[in-house]
Structure 1
């Protein structure tokens, strides 16, 4: 068996991979472009661990299985592997802890007006006005609506419940509540027991009407692009706070900016955007009720440790011809 990783592996990563597939040939080299990936893969391999996939991979190389290092697969399904029969698995689940913590952190920053205090600090302004202090709130007792109840949404729900929030959730199939993907012990909501109520895709406005905070964790697919538009934003509570860590394309950015500018919703914590990097001309940069970060919510020092733990588990399954975790359904786009 030949295994190729397009990121450099640490000794502990190599040991975990080799323990999962004893006797395998393992090659790893950091590849910063799709062309470099193509050069490393050469004629092919049994398993490929990678972020990037060259456009001609399916045509020129024999690859039996691709383990992506990203939670999403839209960047390969819409291009390099469109129509390909190569099994693809994602790294869904390894981002659950950092992104759930980011989401809760963004909500806490908004509730306690930390984002405004930081801006005042830059201006050397001692902000202690009655209006400022009257706007500070608790998240305890508030309702969190989670749009997309995958691994990240489930871990966000677990943390939110610990803060005393009421959790409601929207998912493609509300009746299917079990998480069949990668879920380390003690994390998330594997059995779907935390939400007080589940909503389906046609109930987006309904869940938004009930939510004080909204966490959007949807992937980018043909079914989710512009899932939240002008009509959905109009259904939100005037003081509601929206966090998007899924994909920028799932929210109509122009409509969201207009709603934020007019204070029709309270604020937004945005880590993803329709076009990245976010254009300097975007009005989102200047809005005081927006907390903006450059697509970093999933970053953490242990990223590759978690990724290789998942890869090793899937490698064991691959060797034993058992079902793989996080297998992408091309028809659904994730």
Structure 2
């Protein structure tokens, strides 16, 4: 932030002091991207022109006051794409190769020969076709998987997804997928997208991976599907309540991999987030077009393709 401090008055604050710091501010950098403090302090935004959030998802700041204002919203799209794609490939391999069971047997000092699955030739359905979904599709396709996507509009011949199906047709394509990867942005249309009906449409051998938002999933329906054998497993990096409560059955279900919202957090990610803001700050000061401008009605940065 030193370069920015040389060009502007910078106020650092926590959630409790946000309203006071926001008064008279021209720009707001929401570095704590999980904070829900902005709506409560919005009354103090008396001259704000630009809000930047240090994440790809913008749901913590997508409230009516911002949506209806003239304030430009930008996000940190692009920082986490490859790291999250690597996470997804990692959990796909972990399921197919039985790594969790191998560790259990190792701790028990048991030599138990087993066969593993191939991922080449299996089908992955990536729900969410933004930059993160696109990076996931590229990496899974490079590993030999057959990949298709689910997005806002249907199309064919996509360089990474091949076929993209319309979100309204999700239920038609769930039954054929071996791996379903949720990476869609959280909007009023995607909240609770994966419910009992969606899980019932998947085949019992399918695995579900969520690296999008916890609220994309009806957690009770996912737990029921896993317990009943309607799904073979789930890898979950995001949850509707974070931290995941200790009493949640997701901690102890044998076919679930839990990680604490870290799939995109590579070494150096904090600096990378500030660098994205700093680059946009330079453009803003020069009166140039900002990168990663969010469509506040859609709730994400529209793709150019």
Q: TM-score range with shorter-chain normalisation?
A: 0.7 to 0.9
State which of 283, 302, 320 in structure 1 corresponds to 2:268.
302
User: In the aligned structure 2, how far is the partner of 1:207 from the partner of 1:268?
Assistant: 18
State which of 252, 259, 277 in structure 1 corresponds to 2:218.
252
The question of 1:269 aligning with 2:253 is answered no
User: In the aligned structure 2, how far is the partner of 1:236 from the partner of 1:259?
Assistant: 10
User: In the aligned structure 1, how far is the partner of 2:221 from the partner of 2:236?
Assistant: 14
- Per-residue CA deviation, residues 8-63 of structure 1 (Å, 9 max, x unaligned), is x4xxxx44x58xxxx7225364x4x3123444444213453533453223544422
C-alpha distance 80-294 of structure 1, shift in aligned 2 (>3 A): farther
Number of aligned residue pairs: 296
Whether contact under 8 Å (2:149, 2:165) holds in the other structure is yes
Structure 2 residues without counterparts, runs of 5 or longer: 301-305
Structure 1 residues without counterparts, runs of 5 or longer: 1-8, 178-190
Task: Provide the TM-score with structure 1 as the length reference.
Answer: 0.80
User: In the aligned structure 1, how far is the partner of 2:28 from the partner of 2:190?
Assistant: 30
1:79 to partner: Cα distance: 7.0
Whether contact under 8 Å (1:117, 1:127) holds in the other structure is no
User: In the aligned structure 1, how far is the partner of 2:220 from the partner of 2:28?
Assistant: 41
Superposition pairs for residues 1-334 of structure 1, below 5 Å? Answer: 9=1, 14-15=2-3, 24-25=7-8, 27=10, 29=12, 31=13, 33-46=14-27, 48=29, 50-51=31-32, 52=35, 53-54=37-38, 55-78=40-63, 81=66, 83-122=68-107, 124-129=108-113, 133-134=114-115, 136-175=116-155, 192-334=158-300
C-alpha distance 127-82 of structure 1, shift in aligned 2 (>3 A): farther
Whether contact under 8 Å (2:194, 2:216) holds in the other structure is yes
C-alpha distance 60-265 of structure 1, shift in aligned 2 (>3 A): closer
User: In the aligned structure 2, how far is the partner of 1:43 from the partner of 1:28?
Assistant: 11
Whether contact under 8 Å (1:58, 1:84) holds in the other structure is no
Task: Provide the TM-score with structure 2 as the length reference.
Answer: 0.87
